[in-house]
Amino acid sequence: MTLSSSNQTSPIPLLTDEYLRHILEDSLEYAVVALDPAGMIVSWSPTAEKLFGYPAAEVLGQSGKIIFTEEDRRNGVPEEEMTLALEKGRAADERWHARKDGSLFFGSGAMTPIRAEAGEFLGFVKAVRDRTDYKKTVDSMKEKARLISLANLIVRDRDNKIVFWSKGAVEDFGFTQEEALGKISHELLKTEFPVPLAHIEEEFKRLGHWQGELISTTKGGRKVASASRWVANLGPDQTVSTILEVNNDITTRRKAEQERQEALAKLNILLANAPVGIGFLDQDLRYVHVNEALAEMNGRPVPDHIGRRVQDVLPGADGLLERLLEEVVNSKEAQLNRELSTGELGIQGPGRYFSANFFPVFTESKQLLGVGTIVWDITDQKQTRGKIKRILESITDMYLSLDSEGRVIDINSKAQAFMNEPREALIGKVLWEVLPYVKTNSQLPLQRALAERTPVHFEAESTMAPGRWSEVHAYPTETGLEVYFREITGRKQAEGKLIERGKRLGQSNRELEQFAYAASHDLQGPLRTITNFADLAAEKIGAGQWDGATEFLRRISAAAERMSKLISDLLAFARLGSFKGHAGAGVDLNSVLRDVKNDLDQSIGQTGAEIQSEPLPVVKADSALMHELLQNLIGNAIKYHSSERPRIRLKASRTGSFWEISVEDNGIGFDPKYKETIFDVFTRLHGSGRYEGSGMGLAICKRIVERYGGQIWAESVPGKGSTFHFTLPAATESKSAK
Ligand code: ADP
One-letter identity of residue 173: F
- The model's confidence at residue 13, banded by pLDDT at 50, 70 and 90, is very low
- pLDDT of residue 736 exceeding 50, the answer is no
Q: State whether residue 364 is helix, strand or coil.
A: coil
pLDDT in tens, 621-667: 888 889 989 999 999 999 999 999 999 999 999 999 999 999 999 99
482 touches ligand 1 (CB under 6 Å): no
- pLDDT of residue 2 exceeding 70, the answer is no
668 touches ligand 1 (CB under 6 Å): yes
Q: Rounded CA gap, 271 and 532, in Å?
A: 119
685 CA → ligand 1 middle, Å: 7
pLDDT in tens, 430-470: 988 888 778 778 888 999 999 999 999 999 887 777 778 88
- The model's confidence at residue 4, banded by pLDDT at 50, 70 and 90, is very low
For residue 279, what pLDDT is reported?
93
518 touches ligand 1 (CB under 6 Å): no
Q: Report which DSSP code applies to 156.
A: E
- pLDDT of residue 79 exceeding 80, the answer is yes
29 CA → ligand 1 middle, Å: 162
Name beta bridge partners: 427.
Answer: 408
- The answer to whether the CB of 728 falls within 8 A of the CB of 705 is yes
For residue 688, what pLDDT is reported?
65
Phi and psi, residue 347, nearest 5°: -95, 130
Nearest CA to ligand 1 atom 8: 695
325 touches ligand 1 (CB under 6 Å): no
679 touches ligand 1 (CB under 6 Å): no
Percent of the residues in the chain that have a pLDDT greater than 70, as a whole number: 93
Phi and psi, residue 146, nearest 5°: -65, -45
- The answer to whether the CB of 618 falls within 8 A of the CB of 587 is yes
Percent of the residues in the chain that have a pLDDT greater than 90, as a whole number: 44
Q: CA dist 265 to 174, 272, 278, 282, 616, Å?
A: 35, 10, 16, 21, 108
Number of residues written out for the chain: 738
- pLDDT of residue 27 exceeding 80, the answer is no
Q: Please, is 258 exposed, middle or buried when counting C-beta atoms within 10 Å of its C-beta (0-12, 13-18, 19+)?
A: exposed
- pLDDT of residue 136 exceeding 60, the answer is yes
- pLDDT of residue 584 exceeding 80, the answer is no
The arithmetic mean of pLDDT across residues 60-88, rounded, is: 92
- The answer to whether the CB of 677 falls within 8 A of the CB of 683 is yes
The arithmetic mean of pLDDT across residues 324-353, rounded, is: 90
- The model's confidence at residue 7, banded by pLDDT at 50, 70 and 90, is very low
Q: CA end-to-end span of the chain, whole Å?
A: 165
For residue 703, what pLDDT is reported?
87
- pLDDT of residue 122 exceeding 90, the answer is no
The rounded radius of gyration (Å) of the Cα atoms in the chain is: 68
Name beta bridge partners: 578.
Answer: none
pLDDT in tens, 162-220: 989 988 899 999 999 999 999 999 999 999 999 999 999 999 988 889 999 999 999 99
> Which of 679, 684, 691, 724 most suits a substitution to test ligand 1, by most atoms within 8 Å of the C-beta?
684
637 touches ligand 1 (CB under 6 Å): yes
Q: CA dist 482 to 1, 424, 442, 474, 519, Å?
A: 126, 19, 14, 6, 62
pLDDT in tens, 361-410: 998 888 999 999 999 999 988 888 888 888 888 888 889 999 999 999 88
Q: Of residues 6 and 326, which shows the higher confidence score?
A: 326
378 touches ligand 1 (CB under 6 Å): no
The torsion of the CA quartet 99, 105, 106, 111, rounded to 10 degrees, works out to -20
Ligand 1 atom with least separation from CA of 685: 16
Nearest CA to ligand 1 atom 21: 636
For residue 434, what pLDDT is reported?
82
> Which of 570, 576, 630, 640 most suits a substitution to test ligand 1, by most atoms within 8 Å of the C-beta?
640
Ligand 1 atom with least separation from CA of 698: 6
Nearest CA to ligand 1 atom 14: 684
- pLDDT of residue 249 exceeding 90, the answer is no
For residue 732, what pLDDT is reported?
75
590 touches ligand 1 (CB under 6 Å): no
592 CA → ligand 1 middle, Å: 21
For residue 578, what pLDDT is reported?
60
**Core vs surface per residue 703-723: b (16+ CB within 10 A) or e:** bbbebbebebebebeeeebbb
- The model's confidence at residue 581, banded by pLDDT at 50, 70 and 90, is low
- The model's confidence at residue 120, banded by pLDDT at 50, 70 and 90, is confident
Q: Please, is 460 exposed, middle or buried when counting C-beta atoms within 10 Å of its C-beta (0-12, 13-18, 19+)?
A: buried
Tell me the domains of the chain and their CATH numbers. Answer: 3-132 (3.30.450.20), 151-249 (3.30.450.20), 256-380 (3.30.450.20), 395-487 (3.30.450.20), 492-568 (1.10.287), 579-729 (3.30.565.10)
The arithmetic mean of pLDDT across residues 92-106, rounded, is: 91
> Which of 681, 685, 702, 713 most suits a substitution to test ligand 1, by most atoms within 8 Å of the C-beta?
685
What's the sign of the alpha-carbon dihedral 522, 524, 527, 531?
A: negative
Beta strands 277-282 and 287-290 are antiparallel
For residue 10, what pLDDT is reported?
38
Q: Of residues 553 and 6, which shows the higher confidence score?
A: 553
Mean pLDDT of the chain: 87
693 touches ligand 1 (CB under 6 Å): yes
DSSP string computed for 479-508: SEEEEEEEE-HHHHHHHHHHHHHHHHHHHH
DSSP string computed for 110-139: EEEEEE-TT--EEEEEEEEEE-HHHHHHHH
Q: Rounded CA gap, 155 and 241, in Å?
A: 10
For residue 41, what pLDDT is reported?
93
pLDDT in tens, 687-729: 767 888 888 899 989 989 988 889 999 999 999 999 999 999 9
pTM of the model: 0.39
For residue 714, what pLDDT is reported?
97
For residue 271, what pLDDT is reported?
85
For residue 18, what pLDDT is reported?
56
338: closest CA among 358, 366, 352? Answer: 358
Q: Report which DSSP code applies to 63.
A: B
565 touches ligand 1 (CB under 6 Å): no
